[in-house]
Each structure stands twice: as structure tokens, then as C-alpha cells.
Amino acid sequence: MTTPVNVAEYEALAAEVLEAGLLGYYAGGAADERTLRENVEAFARRRLLPRVLVDVGSVDTRTTVLGAEISMPVLVAPTALHGMAHADAEPGMARAAAEAGTIFCLSSLATTRPSSVAAAVPDARKWFQLYVLKDRAVSRALLDEAVESGFEAILLTVDAPRAGRRERDLRTGFAVPEDIDMPAVREAVGAPRCPTPAEFFELVDPTLTWADLERLVDESPIPVLLKGVHAADDARRAVDHGAAGVIVSNHGGRQLDGVPATIDMLGPIAAEIGEEALVLMDGGIRRGTDVLVALALGAHAVLVGRPALWGLSVAGADGAAHVLELLREEIRLGLTLLGAPTPADVGPKHLL
């Protein structure tokens, strides 16, 4: 196999190695998948504007999030059920992120529990993505395990009070294989078997309010970020209720179809809270230049989900690590050609 040279080539290879139902589960979006496509296509409408006669003899891709340094303004987003993609599963993705010098975000819908990821990759930087369930004791158990296992932040996901209508899954009849488990969720809910993703979302509490965010912030010993923010006034309310930051996200186009591309929602949100709190975004990142566009619009960093998952599917932890390295090198070259020695130097002046 020829070594892929970009994310698109990893995606094409993943489509060859993954069974059709599983590929549809990972790659698909809600309804007509307009938002899924827009997440990627919206970047093509943006134009970077290089600035010249800037000293770029030394370009550094490092940045900081929540006061901690990472190698580049890219984190690994939480995505579900890695064990279906490759036997390396979530520990493999954590190893890839650690090798790349960045942060791995573990999904609640993981095939490896937080404590097991921590034990397998003790040097990994880790954040935990949390859904609040109707049984708050289950959410508390998941949160406590993550905190005790050294996870450094909580990503409270609020754009999925129930799962979107993902029609690829209906057409393929996709079902989680019987040998795949979500141990932390299964044990926390006391179920005799692993719940399916659809069953899991029946457990999610749709009554969550701003008061619940404030309560979680007060009770959590680690920072809480709000994931799934679409509007600037919601970002403002998140900060006012104690969130350390927000993740601008439409859940990879998997929830409400027809909402804007994430990159189109980013600017107003960054303008509202970017001087006070961390602003991250996900959705549609496929190139280092996409990362630069997000930085120019006010993001402090981005998260990539499917690109890292394609790498994992193709070649396990090594494939995911190579995807991250490709993105870092594209960012490094992009900074050089843009006339921005560091990610912090990228701003509105670099967009046409």
C-alpha cells in the first residue's frame, strides 16, 4: 500500500477497509446530509491572504489550551466506538495523540473505559466528553472515573438530547457487533449487555438547562467546556455560567440537518467570548489550511474527529499518528507561507 499523503487519501482507504454499515455509521450525517457536506465545503469559500516580508525563519506550531502547551492547534475530537474501527481502539488513538504531542478526547460512547485508557497510555493528555443522563448517578460515575484517571477537562455535550436521524444507518441496517462493548456505560447503568447507540441516547436527559451547567461547573474539580454551541449568545451564557470555554460544533452534521457549517458559526462566537474563554471548533477540518482559517476567525485551536478515525481504521495507532503528523506539517508550511511565525500570529488580516 502506498503511504497516504493527505487526509483525503486516508478517507478513501478507510472506505475500502471498513464494512459498508460501519463506514456509513462513521461517515454519515443526518437526513439529507446538507450540513455534513457544508462543514467541508464552507472552507473552500474562504481565502487565505499571505502577508509578506515577515520573518518566518523559525516557525513554531505550538500553542496553549487551558494553560497547557500542545504541539499544534489540533486536538483529537471525541468519536464513538473506536473498537469497531481497529483493535487498537481508544488506547491506540490516545497513543497517537501523545506521540503527536496533543490532547485526546475520549467519548462517553467508548469501547474502552477511562481508567483503562489511562492505564494503557499513562503519558497521554486526556479530556473526557460527557453526556448527562436521566440517571445523574451514572453521569457522576463516569465523571468521577475520568477525574480519578487523570483526565484534565470535561466536554459537556449539549447538542444531542436525542440522536439525529442518520439515514445511512437505516439503509444499511447498521448494528453494533455483539462483541463490541461500551464497558463504562454498561457498568454504570447496570445493563446486562452493551446498549446500542440508539438505546444510549434514550438514556440522555433532554431536560438539561443552564442551571445544570452551573451545577456541574461548581462540582467538577476540572474545567468544563460546553460542546455543541451554535450561537454567540449561548456562548456568552456558557461563560457567564462558569464554562472555561466552548466548542463550536454541529456534531459533525449528525444532529439537526440544515444548520450552518461550523466555520460559518465560529466568527461571531469568537468575537463574543474569545478574549475571556477558550474557543475551539470541530467539523470539516481536512487540511492544515483549514486550521489556519479557523485561527484567523478566532478559534484558539480545532478538534479533528473523522480524519484521525480514518487513520485508525487504516493502520491503527500508527495511521492515526500519521494523520496528525500530516496536519502538523501542513500547518507548519501554511504558517510559513502565510507570514505568521506562530498560531497566535494568525488573525483576520490573513483572510480575504
Residues acting as catalytic residues:
251
Helix, coil or strand: residue 187: helix
Burial of 260 from C-beta contacts in 10 A (0-12 / 13-18 / 19+): middle
- Give the residue ranges of DSSP H helices in the chain: 7-17, 20-27, 34-44, 89-100, 114-120, 136-148, 167-172, 183-189, 197-203, 210-219, 232-240, 262-273, 288-296, 306-338
Rounded to whole angstroms, how far apart are CA atoms 333 and 329? 6
In the numeric block, the cell 503528523 is attached to 325
| CA–centroid distance for 272 within its chain | 22
Q: b or e along 269-302 (b: 16 or more beta carbons within 10 Å of the residue's beta carbon)?
A: bbebbbeebbbbbbbbbbbbbbbbbbbbbbbbbb
Rounded to whole angstroms, how far apart are CA atoms 46 and 39? 12
51-58: Cβ within 8 A, 24+ apart: 51/338, 51/339, 51/340, 51/349, 51/350, 52/339, 53/339, 54/339, 54/340, 54/341, 55/341, 56/335, 56/336, 56/339, 56/340, 56/341, 58/341
Pairing of strands 63-65, 68-70: antiparallel
Rounded to whole angstroms, how far apart are CA atoms 251 and 257? 10
Rounded to whole angstroms, how far apart are CA atoms 319 and 347? 31
